[in-house]
Amino acid sequence: MQVNITFRHIEPTEALKDHVKDKVAHIQRYVDRPGEAHAVLHLENLSHHAEITMKAGPFSVRGRGKSDDMYASIDAAADKIERQLKKHKERVRNHKATLIPKDWAPVDIRHDVIDEPRDVPSARVVSTSKFQAKPMSLDEAIMQMDLLNSRFYVFQDEKTRGINVVYRRDDGKLGVIEARPA
């Protein structure tokens, strides 16, 4: 498995690189196919942050850790990914997978993060990401959102082919936004 490590505001050391690679190798046993992993290690104020993102078959999983020690942060991020993958394997075991239709065509999705300054009435785009939404059921989309440890997930409904958004509300419950053509 290819492991990419990015250091921000911290000196890159072989010991940290080896620790990340060891943790990723340990997590890899839960992944069916070797993919790639990306770790971002950075120092913010006095906190050490570690974020590890792994490609696990058709899914991506992400774990974040924050502590006073970079090694503990890496361990926390890896533990979160390991828990997510165990949970995913259990769900897959309990549910039968849906098949992707042969006439499926991917849909390009663009996601913008907008920054709204308090004193200036205009907003500006901070970051943009593009991805292809594959058709899936609502259960699969919720599972993917949980694996990414995200508050929302955009997907293509496998039945209607519409673009939907599943999101976690502030009260902890889930919501769905269904987009239909006009």
Q: Which domains does the chain have, with CATH numbers?
A: 2-94 (3.30.160.100), 107-178 (3.30.505.50)
State the pLDDT at residue 123.
63
Confidence of residue 97 (pLDDT cuts 50, 70, 90): very low
Q: Are 124 and 130 in contact (CB under 8 A)?
A: no
Look at residues 100, 84, 98 and name the one whose alpha carbon lies nearest to residue 145: 84
Give me 125's structure tokens: 């785009």
| Helical (H) or strand (E) element with 85 | helix 70-94
What per-residue confidence (pLDDT) applies to 100? 56
